[in-house]
Chain A
Amino acid sequence: MKGMGGPAPSRFDSALGWTAAPSSTVIRLVIAAVLLAVFGVPFLTVVSSAFSHTSDPTQLAVLPTDPTLDNFRAAGEWRLFTYLRNSLIIAGGGLLLQMTASVLAGYALSRRKFRGQALVMLLFLITMMLPEEVIAVPLSIVLGDLPLLGINLKGTVLAIILPVGIWGFSIMVMTEFMRDIPEEICEAARLDGLSEIGVLGRIVLPMCKPALGVITIFGFIMIWNQYLLPLIASDGPGSYTITVAIALLRDDPSGSTGLLAAGSVLALAPSLIVYLLLQSSLVRGITAGAGK
């Protein structure tokens, strides 16, 4: 297990001065085992319980006993797959909208100097710092009766997709990243007869892959993490997202722990997949967000 990632650590490699000596290795292995237990076992038990045939409603299984898909079948009867579909549509649509808005805005903010630029930056910065909870009450009224348009979005996926489409963090990441792309490259492309949108789509965007990775994973986590918004944007349990809907399972006396575990696994799986695919972007994003 040790040492596969490179040369043996010297005692100047880490703050605590770990070495490759056996005693040091053993201590580290013990620490790693404890941490795996503390952070991994809760997830492991929920996954195994979801696949276990548990008669006892309170028991969790560390390893699956008597493997079964019954819990997921029961989850299907609870329409959990419909809620999951709601969530996936919202995550996909919201992410697409957020990326489009952020790429366009980031391009505008990074390429040109114009009047009011500082103000626009400030507005986007505010959307990042404004705690979502603060505007929950008026937002629920706005969603029920869109200003000027008078449209009621409640109960539709748009009621969640549109508000999560704007996030200052994504715009900041795009702007900062695009600033480092040399203007000469764009200028050359324009001379070759490419339109402004062409320059953005064909030249700038392909160079932005690391930044796109960051906003994909953070945008996804942010949207999937929404709880208050789906709660206030729905017009009843029918339009819930899966994160909100699993609460329905536990409030029902006939629901078992296995069923709740299956629901949690369904709500967990997509973020897990996105995380494993874009792990390196996560670290980059947390440190980029922290620098703001």
Chain B
Amino acid sequence: MWLLLTPALLLAVMFKFIPLAEGIYYSFHKVTPYLGNTWVGLDNYAKVLGSSGFIDALGHTVILAGVQTAGSVIGGLLLALMLEGSSLGLWLTRTVVVLPVVTATAVIGEIWRIIYFPDADGFLNTILAWFHLGPFPFLDSPRTALISVAAVGIWAGAPYNMVIFLAGLAGIDRNLYEAAAVDGAGRWRRLWSIVIPSLRSSMVIVLTLAAIRALGIFTEVYVLTGGGPANSTTTWMTQVYTQGFDRSDVGVASAASILLLATTLTLTIIVRWLTARRSES
């Protein structure tokens, strides 16, 4: 029996748990290659929390996580409502809409960098010019970069949430709609009183997944802006990357990683606790 579990356990220990344990260990040490590590207690944590780079990054991460989560959840719900149905046309549209889910984040980043080209000649700016808008600098100005990154996140995240919501919609008893119609309930009433309450469990799942994904956001930002311009889009993880790999400060980078892990875990536990309580009642 244990023989069957060996490959999975071996890989998990080697590439997940040993790195995790080392990360915790480094977070309490000053790491110097070849000279050995010295115990510094909570110094690394104090450095993270006291560094303006991480404080700024925290702000950007919270904004990104908030905007992106709200946008992709609302967007996903709208997509699901609009694309619910069994006709071939809808199926084809759904197939196209789901494309961002299967596309590697780095590729999405490259595609959007081309679309966002900041000149009047750029693809999106050309389209906006038809409506007498723009040209916008998108990723090139500190004022628009963060929101442009969030827009890509919403574009890529909403289809994923759509699939979860579609499954939720499919589970609603059709007789409820019919009964509501008999009672004279209109379209909005039906949405508000039947559909939204029925989707509550899908909503909880989608919110947790989206928030956790947004907190650890790295690839999109790294590919789209590299944290620039003028550090206006640095997030917690891009800051960890800079700290750990460009500046080789393994201790501080590990402390920041552990803080991110603690936040994510807390968030997961809170949501699990809330959902568990609700399903009991």
Contact = CB atoms under 8 A, between A and B. Distances in A.
A215 interface: no
Given A32-B90, A287-B163, A290-B206, A267 B104 contact: yes
A135 B12 contact: no
B160 interface: yes
Contacts of B5: 104-105, 108-109, 120
Contacts of A56: 121
Interface stretch (A15-23, A63-71, A78-86): A15-23
Contact of A228 (B1, B99, B218): B218
Contact of B264 (A49, A131, A225): A131
A108 B1 contact: yes
B257 A133 contact: yes
A57 B79 CA distance: 34
Contact of B19 (A17, A120, A139, A286): A139
A147 interface: yes
A130 interface: yes
Interface stretch (A186-194, A206-214, A258-266): A258-266
Given A32-B93, A39-B96, A137 B106 contact: no
Nearest to A4: B88
A282 to B, nearest CB: 7
B39 interface: no
Given A15-B177, A28-B89, A133-B218, 14 more contacts: A4-B89, A9-B86, A12-B178, A38-B155, A58-B121, A104-B8, A108-B5, A130-B16, A131-B264, A137-B254, A225-B219, A261-B114, A267-B107, A282-B101
Interface string B88-124: 1111010111111111111100111111010101110
Interface string A48-74: 010000001011100000000000000
A282 B241 contact: no
A36 interface: yes
Given A16-B191, A166-B15, A250-B110, A130 B20 contact: yes
B113 A14 contact: no
B102 A275 contact: yes
B19 A142 contact: yes
A171 B11 contact: no
B82 A39 contact: no
B190 A60 contact: no
B11 A133 contact: no
Interface of B (DSSP majority class): helix
Nearest to A34: B82
Interface in B173-228: 174, 177-178, 181, 187, 190-191, 194-195, 202, 205-206, 209, 212, 215-216, 218-219, 222-223
Contacts of A244: 106
Contacts of B111: 42-43, 46, 264
7 contacts: A6-B87, A12-B178, A13-B85, A137-B244, A138-B23, A165-B7, A263-B110
A227 B98 contact: no
Contacts of B86: 5-6, 9, 13
B1 A112 contact: yes
B57 interface: no
Interface of B: 1-2, 4-5, 7-9, 11-12, 14-20, 22-23, 26, 79, 81-91, 93, 95-107, 110-115, 117, 119, 121-123, 155, 159-160, 163-164, 166-167, 169, 172, 174, 177-178, 181, 187, 190-191, 194-195, 202, 205-206, 209, 212, 215-216, 218-219, 222-223, 237, 240-241, 244-245, 250, 253-254, 257-258, 260-261, 264-265, 268
B8 A286 contact: no
A221 interface: yes
B52 to A, nearest CB: 21
B167 A42 contact: no
Contacts, number: 295
Contacts of B7: 97, 100-101, 104-105, 165
Interface residues of A, number: 100
Contacts of A227: 104-106, 218-219, 222-223
Contacts of A109: 5
A287 B85 CA distance: 18
A162 B14 contact: yes
A17 B106 contact: no
The residue among B99, B123, B172 with the most chain A CB atoms within 10 A of its own CB is: B123
Contact of B85 (A14, A130, A140, A224): A14
Contacts of B237: 133
A123 B257 CA distance: 20
Nearest to B177: A12
Nearest 6 Cβ contacts at the A-B interface: A166-B11, A108-B4, A138-B22, A105-B8, A1-B89, A135-B19
B102 A274 contact: yes
A26 interface: no
Given A59-B121, A138-B254, A287-B167, A39 B159 contact: yes
A1 B88 contact: yes
The residue among B16, B88, B122, B190 with the most chain A CB atoms within 10 A of its own CB is: B16
A14 B190 CA distance: 11
A134 B253 CA distance: 9
Nearest to A1: B89
Contacts of B121: 56, 58-59
